[in-house]
Amino acid sequence: MANAGITSHRPTSDSLYDRACQLFPGGVNSPVRAFKGVGGKPVFIHSGSGAHIQDVDGNRYLDFLGSWGPLIFGHADPDIVASIVAAASQGTSFGASTQREIDLAERIRLAMPSIERMRFVSSGTEATMSALRAARGFTGRTKLVKIDGGYHGHADTLLASAGSGALTLGIPGSAGVTAASVADTLVVPFNDLEAMEAVFSAEANKDQIAAVIVEPIPGNMGLVLPRPAYLPRLRALCDQYGALLIFDEVMTGFRVAAGGAQERLGVRPDLTTLGKIIGGGFPVGAYGGRADLMKRIAPEGPVYQAGTLSGNPVAMAAGLATLRETNRSGFYPTLERRTARLVDGLRSAARRHGVPITAGHAGSMWGVYFAQGPIRNYADAKTADAKLFARWHHAALARGIFLAPSAFEAGFVSSAHADADIDCTVTELDAALAEARGM
């Protein structure tokens, strides 16, 4: 997005970006980092500590990106770093089994009992891609239902009407994804039970739907909350039609509660995908669920899936240290209270400035739309004022608040954000909104 109003005060960042553009498409290794959704040049980060990050020009920011979700303890948490160092000093990869995989898996299963068996992979994309293959392998069916604006990583089949970066860039799917690879992907709006029922009852889909994949609390079209009846009814529909229910909890797992959205909302999926927090800032994903179903995965069963670095010991150590710390009593309620304080503050600020706002949170995941609302799905989300968001983002950045560089992403509060940080953030974002509105 061209934005003539943006002047950068980050000369080192700008020169690194120029070099990066000679090496990487768009100068980045993941599209949404390129700031295309808000205009201007991306910021290059030097380091992070607790709730703060520092860029290569020495500017400090309170960070609400949190690496897109994994860093529930903020940056360079000493206990987590110590665990990583200890593991790395014993060897970084073996391609053979280690105890840490078991320790982490046992913790995950304790928090999410629906995950009776699991498999570690190296990203959220791998997790969803593999879960889908497992679902098809188990049911012998081909079709998949996904949500319009739901993002499940960049596997071909799942890139139909996807959110997050795909949404920010205005690409409904992706070039290079063949019509054949999305031909079996059916797309319905979130929170719309009639549309879901219509898909299931259509004669053309009879006995053909292998699974429904859904972010139970979507965070890739901004943050959208499910209607209370939505997920329970989805569970019932899957049972009625013999389809599997896959919860993509890559973002919500250990974020909205230790047991993820499934614990918070009381709905048990057949399969769950995880990522982000379970890797404590390292590349980890996992998929798992019913034991009878996971028995179909190689080498026990015929559904093939593998990975050289799966269950990497350093990544497992980071995940283990992270989950161990989230176990502290009062951890999630404190985080949620701070997040509510932030969201309430933003709501009041917007009202004071006469800016329409729909803001919400689930645990320490939060989202703001500059729109009257209600925001129930992707179509509603698109009514938000993305231009105002872009100006707000840059005004916030100049005031030392680092928000996700897109109007369609969730924000994350970490345990390193103290009450005083939240109050300071509200003050700065309030002033940033006044500036953005006047621009």
Active site residues: 151, 248, 276
- Choose the binding region for ligand PMP from 50-58, 141-149, 151-159, 382-390 (rule: CB under 6 A): 151-159
Q: Is 255 in the site for ligand PMP (CB under 6 A)?
A: no
Spatial CB neighbours of 237, under 8 Å, sequence gap ≥ 6: 196, 197, 200, 212, 243
Nearest approach in angstroms of CB 269 to ligand PMP is 13
Task: Closer to ligand PMP by CB, 214 or 422: give it.
Answer: 214
Task: Closer to ligand PMP by CB, 123 or 205: give it.
Answer: 123
Task: Closer to ligand PMP by CB, 43 or 162: give it.
Answer: 162
Q: Is 152 in the site for ligand PMP (CB under 6 A)?
A: yes
Q: Is 131 in the site for ligand PMP (CB under 6 A)?
A: no
Task: Closer to ligand PMP by CB, 263 or 421: give it.
Answer: 263
The bridge status of strand 285-289 relative to strand 271-274 is antiparallel
Q: Which parts of 372-401 interact with ligand PMP (CB under 6 A)?
A: none
Q: Is 130 in the site for ligand PMP (CB under 6 A)?
A: no
Q: Is 409 in the site for ligand PMP (CB under 6 A)?
A: no
Listed residue (148, 170, 219) closest to 404, CA to CA: 219
Task: Closer to ligand PMP by CB, 66 or 313: give it.
Answer: 66
- Choose the binding region for ligand PMP from 190-198, 234-242, 244-252, 377-385 (rule: CB under 6 A): 244-252
Q: Is 272 in the site for ligand PMP (CB under 6 A)?
A: no
Q: Is 164 in the site for ligand PMP (CB under 6 A)?
A: yes
402, β-bridge pairs: 63
Q: Is 128 in the site for ligand PMP (CB under 6 A)?
A: yes
The pattern of x and - marking residues 273 through 312 that bind ligand PMP according to CB under 6 A reads: --x---------x---------------------------
- Cα 24 to chain centroid distance, Å, stands at 23
Q: Which parts of 193-232 interact with ligand PMP (CB under 6 A)?
A: 215, 220
The dihedral region occupied by 381, where left means phi > 0, alpha psi between -120 and 50, and beta the remainder, is alpha
The dihedral region occupied by 25, where left means phi > 0, alpha psi between -120 and 50, and beta the remainder, is beta
Q: Is 151 in the site for ligand PMP (CB under 6 A)?
A: yes
Q: Which parts of 312-341 interact with ligand PMP (CB under 6 A)?
A: none
Nearest approach in angstroms of CB 352 to ligand PMP is 32
d(CA 233, CA 197): 10
Instruction: Kindly state the tokens that stand for 438.
Output: 């006047």
Largest separation between any pair of C-alpha atoms in the chain: 62
Instruction: Indicate which single residue of 68, 247, 370, 408 sits in contact with ligand PMP (rule: CB under 6 A).
Output: 68
**Which amino acid belongs to residue 128?**
T
373, β-bridge pairs: none
Task: Closer to ligand PMP by CB, 27 or 219: give it.
Answer: 219
- Choose the binding region for ligand PMP from 104-112, 149-157, 203-211, 431-439 (rule: CB under 6 A): 149-157
d(CA 331, CA 315): 22
Task: Closer to ligand PMP by CB, 128 or 130: give it.
Answer: 128
Spatial CB neighbours of 120, under 8 Å, sequence gap ≥ 6: 101, 104, 105, 284, 285, 286, 307, 310, 311, 316
- Choose the binding region for ligand PMP from 56-64, 129-137, 150-158, 395-403 (rule: CB under 6 A): 150-158
Nearest approach in angstroms of CB 25 to ligand PMP is 16
Nearest approach in angstroms of CB 56 to ligand PMP is 24
Instruction: Indicate which single residue of 37, 42, 124, 405 sits in contact with ligand PMP (rule: CB under 6 A).
Output: 124
- Choose the binding region for ligand PMP from 33-41, 52-60, 121-129, 373-381 (rule: CB under 6 A): 121-129
d(CA 426, CA 423): 5
The bridge status of strand 401-402 relative to strand 60-63 is parallel
Nearest approach in angstroms of CB 372 to ligand PMP is 26
Number of residues that bind ligand PMP (CB under 6 A): 16
| Interface with ligand PMP (CB under 6 A) | 68, 123-125, 128, 151-153, 164, 215, 220, 248, 250-251, 275, 285
